[in-house]
Amino acid sequence: MDRKLLDILVCPLCKSKLTYDKKAGELICKADRLAFPIRDGIPVMLEEEARSLSPEEEVE
């Protein structure tokens, strides 16, 4: 995942910066507690495709 790409990516809902979860291969919005998938190296920035984080999931 390209660092520069990560810098320009924002959450489509709240426009805040995303955190890259390398292990899960997801982009996390801490504010909305949503995880956006990365497919074939391309971040899927769609609310419909995002996964809601469970309360147990730690967002650093």
Residues that bind Zn ion (CB under 5 A): 11, 13-14, 29, 31-32
> Residue 32 or 40: which CB sits closer to Zn ion?
32
Q: Cα(46)–Cα(60) distance, rounded to whole angstroms?
A: 22
> Residue 14 or 42: which CB sits closer to Zn ion?
14
Query: CB 44 → Zn ion: shortest distance, Å?
Result: 14
Is residue 18 within 8 Å of residue 51, measured between CB atoms?
Answer: no
State the chain's maximal CA–CA distance in angstroms. 30
Query: CB 13 → Zn ion: shortest distance, Å?
Result: 4
Tokens for 54? 């469970």
